[in-house]
Amino acid sequence: MDEHYFSADPSVPFRRMPVRALVWGRELALVSGSGVFAQGRVDVGTAVLFRETDPPAGGRVLDLGCGYGAIGLAVAVAAPTAQVTGVDVNERAVLLANENAAALGVADRFTATTPDGVPADAVFDEIWSNPPIRIGKEALHALLLDWLPRLAPGGRAVLVVGKNLGADSLQRWLGEQGWPTVRLASAKGFRVLEVRRGS
C-alpha cells in the first residue's frame, strides 16, 4: 500500500526540504520533509487560507492536522500572545513542527504532538486547519466532531477546503450538526470556512 502523509509513521526515507513562506507580512523559514503533507512547499489551500484571513489576536489556538507546522507557526509568529498546539497523527510531521518552532524561537508557545498527547480537558479559543480531506468523508466527520467540541464558548474554527473535495457539502453538514458555518472567502478552487461555537 502507498504511504500517505496521514500515516502514523511513514516508512519512506526521511529527507528534509526547506520551505520559505510569506505569511501575514512575515517571511517564515521552515523545513518540511518526505512523508509529510506538502513537502517542500506551502500547498495551495494553505496559501489561500493565509491570503484570505487575518491572524488570530492571541489566545489558545489548535492547528489541527499541523503537518510540518506552517499554519500554527504562522499564528505563533504573528500573534505573540498566542499559545499554539499542533496536532498530527504523523510522527514525522510532529518532529518537524517542533524543530521548526525551535528554529523560529517560538517553542515556548508552540508545541506539536500526536492526538494522544493533547490533554482530554484542553480547550481552545480557535482551531485553524487545512483538514485531511483525503482520509475520507466518514473519517473527516469523525475528526471534526472529536475536535470542534474542544472550542471554548464563543470560539471558532477556520478551515480551508477544496470546492471539488466537498467544501460546500461539508459546510451544510456542519450546520446540520449544530455548528453554524459561513464562507469567509473563495479563491483558487478553495473555500475558507468559519465554524462558530455558541456560548
CA dist., res. 30 & res. 35, Å (int): 16
Determine if the pTM surpasses 0.95.
Answer: no
Residues 6+ apart with CB under 8 A from 13: 34
Domains of the chain: 16-196 (3.40.50.150)
pLDDT band of residue 38 (cuts 50, 70, 90) is low
pLDDT at 1: 30
Q: Which residue from 46, 57, 119 is spatially nearest to 83, judged by alpha carbons?
A: 57
How does strand 110-113 pair with strand 83-87?
parallel
Lowest average pLDDT, out of 15-19, 47-51, 64-68, 118-122, goes to: 15-19
The 10s digit of each residue's pLDDT in 109-152 is 999 999 999 999 999 999 999 998 878 889 999 999 999 999 99
The per-residue DSSP string of the chain comes to: ----TTSSS--S---EEEEEEEETTEEEEEEEETTSTTTTS--HHHHHHHHT-----SSEEEEET-TTSHHHHHHHHH-TT-EEEEE-S-HHHHHHHHHHHHHHT-TTTEEEE-GGGS-TT--EEEEEE---GGG-HHHHHHHHHHHGGGEEEEEEEEEEEEGGGTHHHHHHHHHHTT--EEEEEEETTEEEEEEE---
| Per-residue pLDDT tens digits for 55-108 | 999 999 999 999 999 999 999 999 999 999 999 998 899 999 999 999 999 999
| pLDDT tops 70 at residue 39 | no
The span from the CA of 60 to the CA of 51, in Å, is 22
Average pLDDT (42-60) is 93
Write the pLDDT tens digit of every residue in 153-194: 999 999 999 998 889 999 999 999 999 999 999 999 999 999
